[in-house]
């Protein structure tokens, strides 16, 4: 990934001409640099030359399908963020894509707001990559505890700060999954944990385009405003571990469902916990559900 690039680069792989132009129009209207091709074989050649930050990839394509393309670029140690788009009804395709290293998925028909929401979220993370460069020395063992305020704007900064300590411990293709997984769980700790915003409340706020107002409304409560997210980090020669704890009321993690099996399949929020499970070797919620432990083994 070209972390120093001022404009995010997006590669689209889609065999349907109308869908390909539809995706490309959405991306280019946001000012991103974009290339669009019709199958995985051509896409693989473009990927090597273009060095995209984000790839939007259909699953069913001729010559080389989306899953074959994904497997090939991850074998190349690509750290591009991959969003899979599928019209298949079965959950198996999306799950297989996540197992192969996809970072998110969109169910067709893809709504412009959903695609733009993902692109802008990833743009914020990509732009943060160079801030702490060269500040962290390579180490074999490290432990620390950090506390962060419940500010959604600081999530990319928090995540990039944490990533600096493991940049030398994992390959590029692994790091991007870890980074996005941590971002999802920190976001969840702030929004649903400390700010006590329910799934239904967030759904309504997104539909009415007033999520920032809802966040500010919660932060106007002095008790909520002083809440922090605690991150307990451990690195040794065998694994990296993060324990992310918020000061909310927790939840029953046993009731978390696969979003592909219910009416949330087309919604972007409500899938963070599900997607994050594919990025780590171990993931478990602790206590009342306001603390999550994630672990990634070192090879």
**pLDDT digits over 92-143, tens only?**
888 899 999 999 999 888 999 999 999 999 998 988 875 555 445 556 789 9
Q: What is the pLDDT of residue 268?
A: 67
Given this model, what pLDDT does residue 2 score? 46
Q: Is the pLDDT of residue 40 over 90?
A: yes
pLDDT > 90: percent of the chain = 69
Query: What pLDDT sits at residue 220?
Result: 95
What is the location of CATH 3.30.565.10 in the chain? 142-297
Q: Which residue has the higher pLDDT, 274 or 226?
A: 226
pLDDT at 258 over 90: no
Average pLDDT estimate for 5-21: 91
What band does 3 get if pLDDT is binned at 50, 70 and 90?
Answer: very low
Helices in 105-241 by DSSP H: which ranges?
112-127, 155-163, 172-188, 199-207, 211-219, 222-225
Tell whether the model's pLDDT for residue 272 goes beyond 90.
Answer: no
Q: What is the pLDDT of residues 60-84, one digit of tens each?
A: 899 999 999 999 999 999 999 999 9
The answer to whether 166 and 240 have CB atoms below 8 angstroms apart is: yes
| CATH 3.40.50.2300, the chain: domain bounds | 9-127
Per the prediction, the chain carries an average pLDDT of 89
C-alpha 30: how far from chain center: 20
pTM of the model: 0.87
Third-level CATH fold of 9-127: Rossmann fold (3.40.50)
Secondary structure of residue 297 in the 3-state scheme: strand
* 3-state SS, residue 241: strand
Average pLDDT on 182-207 reads 93
Q: What is the mean pLDDT of residues 41-45?
A: 94
Write the DSSP assignment of 228-241 as a string of letters: EEEEEEEE-SSEEE
Q: Any idea which of 185-199, 221-235, 262-276 has the lowest mean pLDDT?
A: 262-276
Which range among 119-123, 180-184, 270-274, 294-298 shows the weakest confidence by mean pLDDT?
270-274
**Contact of 34 with 24, CB cutoff 8 Å:** yes
Model confidence at 259: pLDDT above 70 = no
pLDDT given at position 251: 87
Residue 239 has pLDDT above 90, yes or no: yes
CATH of domain 142-297: 3.30.565.10
Contact, 83 vs 103, CB < 8 A?
yes
């Amino acid at each position: 990934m070209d972390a120093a690039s001022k404009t995010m680069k997006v590669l689209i792989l889609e065999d349907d001409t109308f869908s390909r132009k539809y995706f490309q129009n959405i991306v280019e209207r946001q000012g991103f640099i974009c290339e669009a091709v019709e199958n995985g074989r051509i896409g693989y050649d473009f990927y090597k030359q273009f060095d995209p930050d984000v790839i939007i990839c259909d699953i069913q394509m001729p010559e080389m399908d989306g899953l074959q393309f994904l497997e090939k670029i991850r074998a190349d140690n690509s750290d591009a963020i991959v969003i899979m788009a599928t019209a298949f009804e079965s959950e198996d395709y999306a799950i297989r894509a996540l197992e192969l290293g996809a970072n998110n998925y969109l169910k067709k028909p893809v709504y412009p707001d959903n695609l733009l929401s993902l692109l802008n979220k990833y743009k914020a993370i990509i732009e943060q990559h160079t801030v702490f460069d060269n500040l962290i020395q390579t180490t074999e063992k490290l432990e620390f505890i950090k506390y962060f305020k419940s500010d959604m704007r600081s999530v990319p900064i928090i995540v990039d700060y944490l990533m600096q300590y493991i940049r030398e411990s994992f390959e590029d293709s692994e790091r991007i999954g870890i980074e996005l997984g941590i971002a999802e769980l920190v976001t969840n700790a702030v929004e649903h944990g400390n700010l006590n915003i329910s799934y239904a409340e967030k759904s309504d706020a997104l539909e009415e385009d007033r999520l920032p107002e809802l966040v500010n409304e919660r932060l106007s409560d002095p008790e909520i405003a002083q809440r922090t997210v605690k991150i307990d980090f451990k690195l040794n020669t065998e694994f990296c571990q993060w324990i992310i704890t918020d000061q909310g009321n927790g939840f029953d993690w046993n009731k978390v469902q696969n979003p592909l099996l219910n009416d949330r399949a087309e919604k972007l929020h409500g899938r963070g916990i599900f997607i994050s499970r594919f990025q780590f070797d171990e993931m478990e919620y602790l206590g009342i559900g306001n603390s999550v432990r994630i672990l990634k083994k070192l090879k």
